[in-house]
C-alpha cells in the first residue's frame, strides 16, 4: 500500500516545496491550509504521516494535533511538526501533545528525510 502524507501549512509555497520532497520519499500527498481542514481530511482518510505547521489561521497545529490524537484512528499517524517555532518550550509542548518529531524551519530535503527516518516512516 502506498504511504500517504498530509501536508498542513498556511503557505502555499511551503506546501509545494514540502510536497515535492515528501513525494520523492515515496508518499502520496494531500494538502490542507489550516488545522480545521486538516482534521476534515483525516476524517475522510487517515494518513500515515502529517507534516504540520504550528501557526495557522482558523486552527493552529497544536490544537489540530490534540484533536487528532483524540480521534478514533488518530493515534496511528506519525506527526512531524515543521515550524519557525524553535524554542525548547515549544518542542516540549509538541511532544506532550503527541508529536513524533520536530523540524525547525528553514528545512531542506535532507532534514525532512532525516526526520522521516527518525519517525520510522522510511528506512
Rounded CA separation 51/116 (Å): 10
| Residue 103 in contact with other proteins, rule: CB under 8 A | yes
| Residue 16 in contact with other proteins, rule: CB under 8 A | no
Kindly determine how many residues on this chain lie close enough to bind other proteins according to the rule CB under 8 A.
18
Of these, 95, 97, 98, 121, which contacts other proteins (CB under 8 A)?
A: 95
Give least dist CB 47 to other proteins, A. 20
The H-assigned helical ranges of 45-122 are 61-70, 88-96, 109-118
Give least dist CB 108 to other proteins, A. 9
Of these, 25, 91, 98, 109, which contacts other proteins (CB under 8 A)?
A: 91
Cell of 45: 482518510
Rounded CA separation 8/34 (Å): 6
- Strand partners for 103: 82
CA distances in angstroms from 104 to 74, 85, 91, listed in the order given: 24, 7, 10
Give least dist CB 97 to other proteins, A. 13
Q: Using the minimum distance from each CB to other proteins, give the nearer residue, 59 or 104.
A: 104
* Measured CA angle at 100 (ends 94, 104), to 5 deg: 60
Q: Using the minimum distance from each CB to other proteins, give the nearer residue, 41 or 114.
A: 114
Q: What pairing do the DSSP bridges indicate for beta strands 49-52 and 3-8?
A: parallel
Site residues (CB under 8 A) for other proteins? 86-88, 91-92, 95, 99, 101-104, 107, 110-111, 114-115, 117-118
Amino acid at each position: 500500500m502506498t504511504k500517504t502524507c498530509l501536508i498542513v501549512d498556511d503557505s502555499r509555497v511551503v506546501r509545494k516545496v514540502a510536497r515535492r520532497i515528501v513525494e520523492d520519499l515515496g508518499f502520496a500527498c494531500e494538502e490542507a491550509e489550516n488545522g480545521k481542514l486538516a482534521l476534515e481530511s483525516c476524517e475522510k482518510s487517515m494518513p500515515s504521516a502529517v507534516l504540520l505547521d504550528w501557526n495557522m489561521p482558523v486552527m493552529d497545529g497544536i490544537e489540530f494535533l490534540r484533536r487528532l490524537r483524540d480521534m478514533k484512528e488518530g493515534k496511528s499517524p506519525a506527526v512531524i511538526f515543521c515550524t519557525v517555532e524553535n524554542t525548547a518550550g515549544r518542542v516540549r509542548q509538541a511532544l506532550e501533545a503527541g508529536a513524533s518529531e520536530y523540524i525547525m524551519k528553514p528545512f531542506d530535503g535532507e532534514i525532512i528525510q532525516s526526520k522521516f527516518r527518525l519517525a520510522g516512516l522510511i528506512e
